[in-house]
Structure 1
């Protein structure tokens, strides 16, 4: 599948910003099963300095410095991405107990090594309630891939998709207790549960197709940047994406931008600004299969 992709992130400041430093994570990743084309990135006001880089997890970064006073910031990204991921055979993955042992024995110290995704991170803390919740879906002895998918389906069934019920900084424990939130919350809940039972799990930020196939319902979370989970299912299968918001595998409907331990590692825009006032922000996403795109 080939997609035309566009993203707009906008900030309006109550008082002028006199100095701003930002890190952008908006360029789709080049990875197995996903090939982005040239990216057009426009930032207004124009940065005084712009440096491209990659972080430990392989995410594309743009470091920006904007010195003149400004009352608004706009980031526009557009590109075309080809996605063709094979459907994994979840039934041929190791049993849960074996998978945990394999993960803990791994000596892969790269950004894709499972050891980095087993413990606590800035936004996700392992605790008994998450372990108990995950075990309800993940009976030991069954293939780990099937058990992970069952957990994603359980979250879809038991949590309400409720935009506005949580904020970007809402603790995962609060969303878990309320049983409502958005894709970011569901991803954090699933990650906390998986890590609590010994399955390496990472947070994925990206995009979801906005035009469903004929006769299919529109996927929840398609109006903005989306979030899902990738779980390590052993050295033979590797990392597989699961979308708990929609109870589906993250295959050809999903476009990966950044991967990390939780949202704090993959936020589309980070940084600091020198200002005395408040700010408002908005962003919009457009993901169109090429055969449905209009000129």
Structure 2
């Protein structure tokens, strides 16, 4: 399946910005089932400097600097890529390593891979382990249950017990508050799941990207109607990272486009940087369009 994604980010400033430095995570990466075929980045005003690279996690990044006065900054990114469907069978889910066996391996790692995986058990800038999160998850991740079965059950638990509400939280809302109010958005649900899994000794990482959304039957798809999306992945020896989407109660197959992954949202923020001047006020507008070709 081929997709084209166009992601437009636009900042309007209250006063001219004289200088800005930025780093972007806006280019989908290559994965075991996803291959980028073409990409284009247009920045206005044109930057005097741009450098493409990779971050610590292997995600694609690009740095740029605009050194002329401007009251509007636009980053327009288009990417063409191909996705092969991921298929995890029921047999693989039921026969996966148990939660207890995985915890034992992680606690006494005997390979470089397992030692590196331990970083996904540590606290990160936006996800901290807690007794509340552990209590919410420990009944699902019992020692004798297969890890993938437990993760699938937990995905359904979050989906059924939480309400999607874009007005309920902000980027800084603590996970304990999300857990208490039982509402939030995809980023909150991904962070919550990761915090719960880490609190019970299961390594988990944050997945950032896009999700193809389909219009009601007979209606045209609106340009810019898609959005950035977040979900999580669990590490299973001999299988690697297996993904789960608690917002939609499913395991991603071919409609989730991966931009990057990390410990939490702060590792894969779409755009971050520094501006000089600008009047203190700014308006942000984001448009994402995912097209199946």
Q: Same fold (TM over 0.5)?
A: yes
**Alpha-carbon deviations, 1:149-194, whole Å to 9, x = none?**
1111111111110012212222222222211110000000000001
Gaps of 5+ in 2: none
Task: State the partner residue of 2:21.
Answer: 21
* Worse overlay, 165-174 or 120-129: 165-174
Matching residue of 1:293: none
User: Is the 1:2–1:83 contact (alpha carbons within 8 Å) kept by the matching residues of 2?
Assistant: yes
Cα displacement (A) at 1:212: 6.7
Measure the CA separation in 1 of the matches of 2:84 and 2:47: 35
1:77-226 superposed matches below 5 A: 77-88=77-88, 89-104=92-107, 105=109, 107-108=111-112, 113-211=116-214, 223-226=226-229
CA contact (8 A) 1:25 1:257 kept: yes
Please report the TM-score for the alignment, with normalisation by the length of structure 2: 0.91
In the TM superposition, structure 1's runs of 4+ consecutive aligned residues that sit over 4 Å from their partners are 212-215
Whole-Å separation in 1 of the counterparts to 2:87 and 2:106 = 22
Give the count of matched residue pairs.
Answer: 283
Query: Are 1:106 and 1:113, in contact at CA under 8 Å, matched by a contact in 2?
Result: no
Counterpart of 2:35 in structure 1 is: 35
Distance 1:48 1:224 in 2: 29
CA contact (8 A) 2:207 2:262 kept: yes
Q: Secondary structure at the match of 1:246?
A: coil
Q: Does structure 1 conserve the Cα–Cα contact (< 8 Å) formed by 2:121 and 2:201?
A: yes
Whether the 8 Å CA contact 1:22–1:63 is kept in 2: the answer is yes
SS in 2 for 1:29: coil
Looking at structure 1, the residues matched to 232 and 69 of structure 2 have their Cα atoms a distance apart, in angstroms, of 39
Runs of 5+ unmatched residues, structure 1 = 291-295
Question: Which segment drifts farther, 265-274 or 129-138?
Answer: 129-138
Q: Note the aligned Cα RMSD (angstroms).
A: 2.0
CA contact (8 A) 2:101 2:143 kept: no
Alpha-carbon distance between aligned partners in 1 of 2:163 and 2:179, rounded to the nearest angstrom: 11
How far apart, CA to CA, are the structure 2 residues paired with 1:50 and 1:239? 32
**Given the superposition, is the C-alpha separation of residues 166 and 34 from structure 1 closer, same or farther in structure 2, using an over 3 Å criterion?**
same
Give the 5 Å matches for 1:240-279.
Answer: 240-275=242-277, 276-279=279-282
**1:230-266 deviation per Cα after TM superposition (whole angstroms, max 9, x unaligned):** 11012x1110110010110022110100100000000
| Deviation of 1:87 (Å) | 1.5
For residues 212 and 241 of structure 1, do their structure 2 counterparts lie closer, same or farther at Cα, with a shift above 3 Å needed? farther
Residues 136-155 of structure 1: CA distance to partner in whole angstroms, max 9, x if unpaired?
A: 33233111001011111111
Q: CA–CA distance in 2 between the matches of 1:175 and 1:8?
A: 29
